[in-house]
Structure 1
Amino acid sequence: METTSPPAAEFRDVMAGVCTPVSVVTTMDGRRPHGTTVSAFTSLSMEPPMILVALDRGSELLALVRAHGRFGLNVLASGQEALATRFARKGADKFDGVPWLDSHGLPRMPGAAGWLACEVHELVEGGDHVVALGLVTAAERLAVPPLTYHSREFGTHVAGAR
């Protein structure tokens, strides 16, 4: 049986209809913080606690994560759309003027709904991205709604009627 890939535009449209959390993955280059916005991340395992995050194969951040073997995941809060947009662009100056904390040796965004510090367990090739499997070494949550992305717009989760 022959399989064919769907056209890229149709695939993008289907994926735009999936609500995803918006996060900024961060790491250090030794002295400077680096980060990029991602929507492709999820929990992988509870024992041990692990997540997976997809990083663009050509990204500078992926090269740094490969080199240092650690990354942070900042689950952005509703209202942090400007951070999501800023860290989605190219360039090494994304942190210029952006407040951040050093948490477990990784850049952490104040006010983020969630924070995970991770050690790279494995890097898995997948098309034009690499999936980083991260072993969670620290976790913290704020009681604020998360930032989500759906139908090419930012929003947040609203509980359904019970």
Structure 2
Amino acid sequence: MPGQDERVYHGATLSSFTSIAMEPLPLVSFALRIPSRMASTLNALQSDSAPDAADMVINILSAQQASIATSFSRPDLHPHPFDTTPYFLSADGLPVIRGSLGAISCKLVAQGIPLHDLGFLQQRQLDAPGDVPTGASELFIAQVTRVESAAEENLLPLLYHRRLFTSCTEPPPP
């Protein structure tokens, strides 16, 4: 059990992550399966956090970090993946995974948008909590507040394709 001044970090492996815009604000989006501990935490943080503080950090993993991605994608097998993952803290006190290609600190712009409920998207009443279909997800949009780090080595990114972790071609020469 953490002490009163220790923070508990939650993490997830994102299989859908994209940039939305650079101007007027840099925005990114991603989807999370619901129900999930990460989606619940982010929805709670969006309403509770300080206006200038980052809510989360997105770590861009290298091709050598597939085991880390797996541990964050399986809370049933790895309930506390930060216990075995080397990291340091960003300026906002958020975990940046060592050896990642980079990390992006973000501030959520709103709570998650339920992608299973078209009525909600059309400004009608949200489904009752028990009515969430299996495999449902929420879309999160966040403003990038800062790039936290970048790997000094010329590493390949970790990608997820056809239910496997992979990467792209060889990196260009330095």
Return the alpha-carbon distance in structure 2 between the equivalents of residues 106 and 132 of structure 1.
18
Partner residue in 1 for 2:41: 64
Return the alpha-carbon distance in structure 1 between the equivalents of residues 57 and 145 of structure 2.
10
Return the alpha-carbon distance in structure 2 between the equivalents of residues 93 and 154 of structure 1.
21
Partner residue in 1 for 2:150: 141
Following TM superposition, by how much is the alpha carbon of 1:153 offset from its aligned partner in structure 2, in angstroms?
Answer: 2.0
- TM-score, scaled relative to structure 1: 0.74
Partner residue in 2 for 1:40: 16
Aligned-residue CA RMSD (Å): 1.6
Following TM superposition, by how much is the alpha carbon of 1:146 offset from its aligned partner in structure 2, in angstroms?
Answer: 0.3
Q: Deviations over 1:87-137 (max 9, x none)?
A: 110253121222111112211111111211110012321121111101000
Report the AA paired with residue 18 of structure 2: T
Larger Cα Rg: Structure 1 or Structure 2?
2
2:102 to 107, 110, 114: 114
> Alignment partner of 2:145: what SS?
strand
Identity of counterpart residues, as a percentage? 31
| Pairing 1:89–2:74 present | yes
Following TM superposition, by how much is the alpha carbon of 1:144 offset from its aligned partner in structure 2, in angstroms?
Answer: 2.0
Report the AA paired with residue 162 of structure 2: S
Where do residues 4-15 of structure 1 align in structure 2 (5 Å cutoff)? none
Return the alpha-carbon distance in structure 2 between the equivalents of residues 137 and 118 of structure 1.
5
After TM superposition, what 4+ stretches of structure 1 lie above 3 angstroms from structure 2?
none
> Alignment partner of 1:134: what SS?
strand
- TM-score, scaled relative to structure 2: 0.69
| Pairing 1:52–2:40 present | no
> Alignment partner of 1:38: what SS?
coil
Return the alpha-carbon distance in structure 2 between the equivalents of residues 152 and 124 of structure 1.
25
Q: Which runs of 5+ in 1 are unaligned?
A: 1-29
Q: Which runs of 5+ in 2 are unaligned?
A: 1-5, 47-54, 117-135
> Alignment partner of 2:63: what SS?
coil
